[in-house]
Structure formats: C-alpha cells, structure tokens
Amino acid sequence: MDRNLRKERIGIVTSDKMNKSIVVSVERRMKHPKYGKFVKRTSKFMAHDEKQEAHLGDTVRIMETKPISKNKCWRMVEVLERAK
C-alpha cells in the first residue's frame, strides 16, 4: 500500500481505558436525503496509541494502517488539542 493513500481522520477520544488503545469518535455532517436538513453522524474507530499520550476528550489525528488486532486498524498520529 502506498503511504500517501492512507486515510486520515480527526476526532475526539471517547475511551482511553485500554492498554495502548483508544476509541476515537469522528463526526461528520450529512444532508438528510428527504428533508435536506444537515444531521450529525458519528463513527467510532479503535486506534493504536503506542506511547499512551491521548486521554479522554483530546482531539487527535488518526491514520489508517494494517490490522493490529481484530478491530483495530488505525493508529494515532498526533494529539491536536488537549481536553480542558
């Protein structure tokens, strides 16, 4: 896989209780097919956090990678903003 084709997402950490793993919620706004109103849709990704530097509420950037475990195929690239 070519390194520049990897998907990147920015989301908020919703769980950091696991060892070297975090759950990141990525929110997107889509237009309702019938009513046209913009609605929020969230996707949850499990990401690998090697140094365990992300904590609950932090905004992080995650990148697609080869599967690390059964449902973990993303890794954290950087912490963009710390939770207040």
Three-class secondary structure of residue 75 per DSSP: strand
Q: Taking 60 as the threshold, does the pLDDT of residue 6 lie above it?
A: yes
The tens digit of pLDDT for each residue in 23-57 reads 999 999 999 999 999 999 999 999 999 999 999 99
The domain 3-81: what is its CATH number? 2.40.50.140
Write the DSSP assignment of 11-36 as a string of letters: EEEEE--STTEEEEEEEEEEE-TTT-
Geometric angle at alpha carbon 28, from 84 and 3, rounded to 5°: 90
- DSSP letter at 5? G
pTM of the shown model: 0.87
**Domain ranges for the chain:** 3-81
